[in-house]
Each structure stands twice: as structure tokens, then as C-alpha cells.
Amino acid sequence: MTKSVKHPSFGLLGAAVALSIGLAAPALSQQQLSIATGGTGGVYYPMGGGLAEIINTHIDGYSATAEVTGASVENMGLIATGDADLAIGLADTVAQAYSGTGRFDGQQLPMIRGLASLYANMVHIVALESSGITSLDDLRGKRVSIGAPGSGTEVNTNAILAANGISYDDIDEQRLNFNETADALSNGDIDAGFWSVGAPTSSIMNLATTQDIVIIALTEEQLDAAVAEDGTFARTTLPGGSYTGVDADITVLGIPNVLTVSSEMSDDMAYSITKAMFENIAELQAVHPAARETTVEFSLSATPVPLHPGAIRYYEEIGASIPDKLRP
């Protein structure tokens, strides 16, 4: 599936994005590919930019650009409408889109296919040390950024709060992207914010250089409740030292991020992208350390929807065993 970009936020924006990540303007004779990512303060955008550069360098005749979007929920819609060729999304959002549940109740998108799982997000709940907020329950009555509209962060936030008996009626919810959340915390406009993002992430790193921050740890009971609410959650560790002033390891909820395409993409194209990414993974790792998790093993264990046949061709070519649930 290759075409000129049709989404109103693409087009000239795509060219600007290409320039901003150091890519040459595409030749007119090349087929254009659009990669839907997220906001500039997260990990999707640099990962998408790194993947675009791999495509531009290693797949003849194609030129890709990373697009700034509202992230996971919006990205699944862009794949469904053909306004993006590739998109990154949180595993729970991707699974909901494929099955027509959750945020996609009544709007099933059965064309969603996986190429790979890239890395695991970690859910960060961040406040300023001066706020006095030390627990999830302390968020009641507070101004809380729950994530940008249409983002996986918002989906994750809702699941964590609901699992632990907190509704949006209990907080003053603000729907802000990562950079906006960091700025609002710094300015005192909100009391806490959620990030579902690869660690470390630039927006929190920048905040921690100017403010004393805390990352709220969930209790064992709260972690258990969230995992029971959303089976794509898993416990993982945010290493101490990831952010200035946060010295101890913190157990947080992790969730995979999936590189998705439409079932309408040609098998050859899906194969070529999957092959180029894995054969040149060091180039993606140089863009962001989260790509150290981008492995065949992680992809085959963490992808929540069927793989595209072109991706399966690559995995079988290198001798990997494909679980039955990942076959379309």
C-alpha cells in the first residue's frame, strides 16, 4: 500500500518532519510511505524517524517520513483509512482496534496486522516533589493529565484508575500530550501526569533537570488490580537513575508497542520493511536505546494481533517458529 499522503496533517508536514530528522527531501520518482508515530516529546517519533531512515537507506525506490500524530488510537484509524502506511501503537490499543472492543467498541478494524513489537512502554506517574503526592490515592481531587486525546497513555490511565476504584469524576482530568504535561507540571497548572512511554523519555528528563520530581509507585495490590483489568500489562522495572533525582528502582506497569500495517500492504513490502529493520537494527538503536528491545523473540511473544504474511515470510526465512495465534 503506497500512495501520496492524504491525511490533512500530512503532506507539507511530512516534508518538514523529514527535514527535522535529517532526511533528504524524497525524489519524485520514489514511492512515499507515511509512518504514524506520536508527539515529539515521546519515543514513537524518534523511533518512527529511525525506521524511516532505514527504509530510505536500505529499500530501493521508497521514501518514508515520520508523522506527528495523537498516537495509538488515532494511529489505528490512520491505518484503517489508508492515511498511514505504518503506525506504532500500544498493544492494548492495537488489540482493541483489531477486536472492536474498548475504545473501538462497534468500530472493529480487522485489517490491522503486526510487523513486529518494538519495545515495552513503562507507565510513569509523575508529580513534583513539592506537591506532596506520594500514592495513587493522592490523585483524588487533583488536576491530573491523563494523556493526549487518542493516545495509548489515555487508554492505560483509564485502565489503571478504573482498576483501583478511581474515576474521572474523582479527579480534574486534563488531556495533554507529553510536552504539554511536563510544561503544566513545571508551571504549577496541574498536580500530576501520566506517561505511557519508553524510558527514559525526553520530556520527563527535561522536567527533572529544572524541577524536583517524584515517580509514584503503585502498591502490589494496585499492580495486581491493573494487570487483572488489562491483560497486556506486565510488571517491569524503571531503573534508578533514569531521571535526575529518581535514584531507586521502581516497579511499574509495562506494555509492548507494536509496529502495525494494513492487511492491504503487499507481501513484498511488508517483508522488505521487516527484513530491513532487523538487519539494520543497530541504526535504530543509535536513534533511541528503547530499540535494544526490538528483537524477533520479543516480537513473537508480545505482538497481540496476527502478523502480516510478509513479516511471517521473513521470520520463517530466519528459522523462527511462528505461534499459531499470530497467523492471519
The CATH number of domain 12-119+257-326, selected from 2.40.50.100, 3.40.190.10, 3.40.50.300, 3.40.50.150: 3.40.190.10
Q: What is the pLDDT of residue 16?
A: 37
Query: According to the model, what pLDDT value does residue 24 have?
Result: 46
pLDDT confidence of residue 236 = 87
pLDDT digits (tens, 9 = 90+) for 147-176: 999 888 999 999 999 999 999 999 999 999
pLDDT at site 28: 52
Report pLDDT digits (tens) over 284-318: 999 998 999 999 999 999 999 999 999 999 999 99
Cell numbers standing for residue 240: 534508578
Domain boundaries for CATH 3.40.190.10 within the chain: 12-119+257-326, 121-255
- Cβ-count burial 148-175 (b if 16+ within 10 Å, e if not): bebbbbbbbbbbbbebbebeeeebebbb
Cβ atoms 315, 307 nearer than 8 A? yes
Amino acid 232: pLDDT: 84
Q: Say what the pLDDT of residue 36 is.
A: 98
Q: Which of 204, 149, 141, 203 is nearest to 175 (CA)?
A: 149
Query: CB burial class (10 A; 0-12, 13-18, 19+) of residue 104?
Result: buried
Gap between the Cα atoms of 156 and 98, Å rounded: 17
Q: What are phi and psi of 181, to 5 degrees?
A: -65, -45
Please state, in angstroms and rounded to a whole number, the distance separating the CA atoms of residues 56 and 307: 23
- Structure pTM? 0.78
Which residues are CB-contacts of 85 (< 8 A; sequence separation ≥ 6)? 1, 2, 3, 33, 34, 35, 64, 261, 262, 265
Choose among 12, 17, 61: nearest CA to 37: 17
Residues of the chain short of pLDDT 70, as ranges, are 1-29
Task: Indicate the fold that domain 121-255 takes in CATH.
Answer: D-Maltodextrin-Binding Protein; domain 2 (3.40.190)
* Contact call for residues 254 and 120 (beta carbons, < 8 A): yes
Q: What is the pLDDT of residue 1?
A: 45
